[in-house]
Structures are given as structure tokens and as C-alpha cells.
Amino acid sequence: MTVKSKHVRIKGIKDGLVFLLDDKCPFEDLLSELRYKLEHSHQNILTGPIVHVDIKLGNRPVTEEDKEAVLDILKSQGNLLIRSVEALEDPEEKDPEALFLMSGMLRSGQVLHHEGNLLFLGDVNPGGTITCSGDIYILGALKGMAHAGINGNQEAIIAASLLAPTQLRIADIISRPPDEWGTRESSMEFAYLSGGAMQIDKIHNIVKLRQDLNVFKGV
């Protein structure tokens, strides 16, 4: 099978790769070319260390299913770590409380950023960083740095199966140093802001926190 290389451009940047995807062609043609390039003509980028990837879908309106179709192709290559996806959103699909799912492992020096709420399946090792404009939920160990609500959202939270970070940040509030965390029970916890200070609580109390916020806002 021969696929003409006209819909997918791969650009090298200082700290990774940018995949520039044509927003005018049929979406299935785009997926076919992306799959072909990764499996045949661009095998050289799939060997070696972890490569951070930013995906730009241009002015094409896409659904979450469309994004997942692109991510499934890229995630099939073990050394590609998706850092961001930029595209117009289908207004019927847009949900401010939706969780975007990513999986993998963040090692020292690696940074993962997402616009919205993120559910990350895996560990964040010391030196690894996750930043998010919304909430961050980690089904794994958080031993690196996490920054939720980076655009100033003080209602954002950070949750992890094992909360043992080098630093937590919500909006512009920074957590206390790691050596002040002390020894706590090994259970899923979350961090949130209350009165301008960061607090830690058990994950089962998150529902009460959200209810209290809604009451406070008159929702």
C-alpha cells in the first residue's frame, strides 16, 4: 500500500516533535497516512529514548472519539509520549467536567501538559511534572511535581493513589515542602485549596467538597 505524504507533517522542535495534521482532507485519509508514516516511512523516530509529541489538528472540528483515534495510533509506538492535542472542539461534545485519559510513566525531566481535566494512568517519578488547566487525577504514584488550575482556577484539585510529591501547586498556591508532609496512611488522597492554603483529604471526601462549593456558589 502506498500513501501519498501530503496530510501529515512531522516537525522537530527543541524538546520533541510536532505533528501537523491537515484540516481539509477526509479524517479517514488523515488516519491512514498517520498510521502509514509511523509504520513505514518514519521508523527512525520510533527508536531510542522517549519523544514528547504535540499534535495540532488545525481548524478541523473534532470529537473526543476523533482525538482518541489519533492518540491510539500514536500510543501504539512505545517511545512517543503525547504532551498536548490542539483542535477545535465539537460544541455538542464539549463538557467542562470531562476527563481526558492518558497513560504511561513520567520520568525525571519529562513534562506532560493538558488543557482541561486529566486522568493519568501511571506513575509520575521524581523529576517528572504534570501541569493541567483543570483537575489532575493520577491512578498511580505521584512522586514528582503536579500543578493543577494553571490558569488561576483555585477550585482545581490534585488526586493520586499515592500522594508523595516533591511539590504540589494549585493556581498560584504552592504546597509545603516534602519533608513537612509527614507519614500518612497509604490510601488515595487529594489536595485542594481552602482559605488560600492547600489542604489534603481522603478521596471519599471529594464529593462533599464539590457539594459545599456548589452550595457556596448558589448552584
The whole-number pLDDT of residue 132 equals 93
Q: At 177, phi and psi to the nearest 5?
A: -60, 155
Q: What nine digits make up the cell of 98?
A: 470531562
SS3 of 164, please? coil
Max Cα distance, the chain (Å): 61
Which domains occur in the chain, in start order?
Answer: 1-94 (3.30.750), 96-219 (2.160.20.70)
The whole-number pLDDT of residue 139 equals 94
- What is the sign of the dihedral through the CA atoms of 149, 69, 41 and 23? negative
Q: At 3, phi and psi to the nearest 5?
A: -120, 125
pTM of the entire predicted model: 0.59
The whole-number pLDDT of residue 219 equals 43
Q: Are 82 and 102 in contact (CB under 8 A)?
A: yes
- pLDDT of the chain, 219 residues: tens digit per residue: 444 557 888 888 887 888 899 888 888 989 999 888 887 766 666 666 788 888 888 887 778 788 888 888 888 777 788 888 887 654 444 556 778 888 888 999 888 888 889 999 999 999 999 999 999 999 999 999 999 999 999 999 999 999 999 999 999 999 866 655 555 566 789 999 988 889 888 988 888 887 766 644 554
